[in-house]
Amino acid sequence: MRHVLIADDEARIREVVQYALEKEGFRVTSVADGRAAIDVVDRESVDLLVLDVMMPGVDGYEVCRRLRATRKTPILFLSAKGEEIDKVLGLEMGGDDYLAKPFSPRELVARVRAILRRIDDTQQTPARVLSHGPVRIDPERHLVRCDEAIVDLTPTEFGVLQALYERPGVVLSRAQLMERAYAWDNHVTERTIDTHVRRIRAKFRECGVDPIATVHGVGYKAPDY
């Protein structure tokens, strides 16, 4: 049974989300603030975190920042802010998806399943290491190396990079990458993919490598090392 943690200071939101997820067979823990969310993740195994952005004290962005320092736990942000800039900020912080309030409980469950399915697909991939230039991707171990350095990627970032390195030299459009990284979400925009690409590049910067080549007007591909 997958364990989902909900952190939201609105009791009604917690109740709705918990009911919807438990109805679909998830084990759910519910907390009202960011500090409590961090405590739960520290002491228990959590498969996914549904995280409200606007919480008193430690807000959702700060929770994400702290967790990303040591963990890859998938994060689905919830926020009353629906502007694209807020969504981009959540993804820049390391979130895997972003859902604006008010939302449909069915859509939230679908997004949770999609994120977890991406992880399952990665873990079920045959143990074939993708090696291209200085970059090595081990899907079975969910491990990325640049030369000898380990590069920590979120599940969504991993999926984007893996899609590009499975077919070196082939240009994938943003729409194709959206399909690869998001099994569900008709609200994902091309800018969302650009945000993930930007984060991947930033994480490789210490290695002195740009792992993704931009083909202007078309999309992205693995570089010609």
Domain 125-221: assigned CATH number? 1.10.10.10
Class of the CATH domain delimited by 3-120:
alpha beta
What is the Cα–Cα distance from 31 to 8, expressed in whole angstroms?
7
pLDDT above 80 (res 130): yes
Instruction: Give pTM, 2 decimals.
Output: 0.63
pLDDT above 80 (res 185): no
> Mind giving me the DSSP string for 73-110?
--EEEEES---HHHHHHHHHTT-SEEEESS--HHHHHH
Quote the mean pLDDT of the chain: 88
Spell out the domain ranges in the chain. 3-120, 125-221
Q: What is the mean pLDDT of residues 1-8?
A: 96
Q: What is the mean pLDDT of residues 181-204?
A: 75
Q: What is the mean pLDDT of residues 123-152?
A: 85
What is the Cα–Cα distance from 78 to 87, expressed in whole angstroms?
10
For 30-84, the pLDDT digits (tens) are 999 999 999 999 999 999 999 999 998 899 999 999 998 888 899 999 988 766 6
Helix (H, G, I), strand (E, B) or coil at 172: strand
Band the pLDDT of 183: cuts 50, 70, 90: very low
Residue 92 is predicted with a pLDDT of 79
Question: In 3D, which of 187, 175, 135, 181 has the Cα closest to residue 156?
Answer: 181
Strand order in the sheet with 172-173: 172-173, 219-221, 213-215
Residue 127 is predicted with a pLDDT of 53
Is the model more confident about 89 or about 113?
113
- Cα angle value 202/45/144 (rounded, 5°): 30
Q: What is the DSSP letter of 131?
A: E
